[in-house]
Amino acid sequence: MDVAIIGGGPAGLSAAVYTARADQETYVFDDGSGTTREVDTMENVYGFPDGVTGPELVSLGQRHATKFGATILEEEVVRIGRTDDDAYEIETTENRYQARGVVIATGASYESPAIRDVDEYEGRGVSYCVECDAYFYRDRPVAVVGSGNFAAKEALMLLDYTDDVQVLTNGKEFTADAALRDQLDAADVAVRTDRLERVDGDDALERIVTRDGDELEVDGLFVALGAAGGTALAEMLGVATAGPYVETDDGMGTNVPRVYAAGDVTGGQRQINTSIGEGTRAAINLLEEFRDASEYVDYQKLDRPASETATSD
Evaluate if residue 305 carries a pLDDT over 70.
no
Please report which confidence band the pLDDT of residue 109 belongs to, taking 50, 70 and 90 as the band edges: low
31 plus 101 within the same structural domain = yes
Buried-state track 111-145, b at ≥16 Cβ within 10 A, e below 16: eebebeebeebeeebbbbbbbebbeebeeebbbbb
Residue 2: its pLDDT value, please?
Answer: 96
Residue 38 has pLDDT above 80, yes or no: no
**Domain check: are 150 and 219 in the same one?**
yes
Cβ neighbors of 172 (< 8 A, separation 6 or more) are: 147, 193
pLDDT at position 130: 83
pLDDT of residue 128: 79
Q: Is residue 292 part of a domain?
A: yes
289 belongs to a structural domain: yes
122 and 81 in a single domain? The answer is no
pLDDT at 303: 54
| 49 and 94 both lie in a single domain | yes
Domain hosting residue 255, numbered range: 3-109+228-308
Q: What is the pLDDT of residue 150?
A: 85
* 232-278 pLDDT, tens digit each: 899 899 999 887 789 999 999 999 999 999 998 998 766 889 999 99
295 falls in which pLDDT band (50, 70, 90)? Answer: very low
The number of folded domains in the chain is: 2
Q: Is the pLDDT of residue 175 over 90?
A: yes
Residue, of 34 and 301, whose pLDDT is higher: 34
Question: Is residue 261 located within the same domain as residue 166?
Answer: no
Is-contact 133 114, C-beta < 8 A? no
Work out the number of other CB atoms within 10 angstroms of the CB of residue 51: 12
Among 223, 243, 269, the domain-final residue is 223
Q: Are residues 134 and 188 in the same domain?
A: yes
178, amino acid identity = A
| Band (41; pLDDT cuts 50, 70, 90) | confident
Q: Are 179 and 200 members of one domain?
A: yes
**Interacting residues of 284 by C-beta distance below 8 A, sequence separation 6+:** 18, 302
Whether 175 is covered by a domain: the verdict is yes
Note whether 249 and 298 are same-domain residues.
Answer: yes
Decide: helix, strand or coil at residue 286.
helix
Reported as a pLDDT band with limits 50, 70 and 90, residue 205 is very high
Q: How high is the pLDDT of residue 54?
A: 84
Tell me, yes or no, whether 23 lies in a domain.
Answer: yes
Q: How many residues would you count in the chain? A: 313
148 and 103 in one domain? Answer: no
Contact between 272 and 36 (Cβ < 8 Å): yes
- Please state the rounded mean pLDDT for residues 104-123: 84
Say yes or no: 189 and 254 in one domain: no
Q: Indicate if 174 and 28 belong to the same structural domain.
A: no
Among the candidates 223, 252, 285, a domain finishes at 223
Residue 250, pLDDT score? 95
Q: Does the model's pTM come out above 0.75? A: no
Domain match, 234 and 171 both: no
CATH number at residue 203: 3.50.50.60
pLDDT digits 0-9 by tens, 64-95:
999 999 999 999 999 999 998 889 999 998 99
Q: Is residue 313 part of a domain?
A: no
Q: End of a domain among 223, 255, 287?
A: 223
| 253 assigned to some structural domain | yes
Query: What is the model's pLDDT at position 309?
Result: 47
- The answer to whether residue 65 is domain-embedded is yes
